[in-house]
């Protein structure tokens, strides 16, 4: 059983009945199954509840740091003064104390959200809140050049280090890989966004230089994952599954290299550095409903 510093295991045992042998009459076997935990995690900043995320209750301090950074609540980890984790009957409260500048900016942002009248994401006002202007990654000091062998090494190592996935079959993973494709750190969660935030939080705590590696995700590439990665000025994001069209657009705008379908036989490159001759990316403007 894998536990974090707070004694959380990340999964629970449940009694099940396994039914097999559909073509031979079938039989039923009682067993104990390991099921990934999913609990409400409330993120509370300076006493004000900001968000409730459904997450696996592992590595919550790293999660709080990563979420605060990738969502732009703080500009640096130095603005996080304290983190307290308080388990409850119905979930977990993560209390985060941040500096006055960051807190005032957060309060102003919350007032902006409260003043909007758009319904869901069907109107112009709501679309304006989606934060579709990514942080430019910039030119890294050392450009990582992906190869099939590098990505194969990384994906093989990621699969071997997905301990919670092996136990439950129901979580995503985010890995930090060096320029050679060696996996340095892996974090897992029922939510792919949460796994990435936990990874970012850990890398920040260990003072890892973001320009020296890339992120590998066991999931598809959605625009939120691209935006979070770009905000940390990480030069490359690789995913096991497919990207969305908006993820490709955001990656191109940010100058982030996006690789997907990273498998044993190769990968697909959707965005690349501008100096790569011959690479053409069509990026259509986002259509706003009239």
| Inter-CA distances, 68 with 64, 75, 105, 232, 245, Å | 6, 8, 13, 12, 26
Q: Please state, in angstroms and rounded to a whole number, the distance separating the CA atoms of residues 221 and 42.
A: 25
Active site residues: 119
258 and 221 in contact (C-beta within 8 Å)?
A: yes
Q: Please state, in angstroms and rounded to a whole number, the distance separating the CA atoms of residues 73 and 231.
A: 12
242 and 219 in contact (C-beta within 8 Å)?
A: no
Taking the CA of residue 73 as centre, how many other CA atoms within 13 Å lie in the half-sphere pointing to its CB?
Answer: 25
Residue entry with tokens 């044993």: 264
Strands in 183-189's sheet, in edge-to-edge order, are 183-189, 172-178, 213-217, 236-239, 257-263, 266-271
Beta bridge partners of 239: 217
């Amino acid at each position: 059983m894998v536990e974090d510093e707070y004694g959380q295991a990340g999964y629970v045992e449940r009694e099940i009945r396994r039914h097999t042998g559909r073509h031979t009459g079938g039989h039923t076997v009682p067993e104990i199954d390991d099921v990934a935990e999913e609990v409400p995690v409330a993120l509370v900043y300076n006493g004000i509840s900001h968000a409730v995320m459904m997450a696996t209750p592992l590595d919550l301090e790293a999660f709080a740091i990563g979420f605060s950074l990738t969502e732009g609540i703080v500009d640096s980890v130095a603005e996080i003064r304290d983190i307290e984790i308080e388990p409850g009957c119905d979930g977990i409260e993560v209390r985060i104390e941040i500096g006055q500048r960051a807190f005032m900016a957060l309060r102003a942002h919350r007032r902006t959200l409260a003043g909007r009248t758009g319904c869901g994401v069907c109107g112009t006002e709501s679309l304006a809140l989606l934060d579709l202007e990514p942080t430019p990654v910039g030119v890294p000091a050392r450009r990582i050049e992906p190869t099939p062998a590098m990505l194969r090494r990384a994906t093989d190592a990621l699969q071997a280090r997905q301990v919670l996935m092996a136990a439950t079959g129901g979580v995503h993973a985010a890995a930090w890989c060096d320029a050679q494709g060696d996996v340095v750190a892996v974090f897992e969660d029922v939510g792919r966004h949460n796994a990435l935030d936990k990874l970012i939080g850990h890398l920040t705590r260990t003072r890892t230089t973001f320009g020296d590696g890339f992120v590998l995700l066991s999931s598809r590439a959605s625009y939120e994952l691209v935006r979070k990665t770009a905000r940390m000025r990480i030069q490359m994001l690789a995913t096991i599954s497919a990207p969305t069209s908006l993820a490709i657009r955001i990656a191109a705008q940010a100058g982030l290299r996006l690789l997907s379908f990273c498998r044993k036989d190769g990968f697909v490159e959707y965005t690349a550095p501008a100096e790569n001759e011959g690479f053409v990316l069509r990026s259509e403007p986002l259509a706003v409903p009239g």
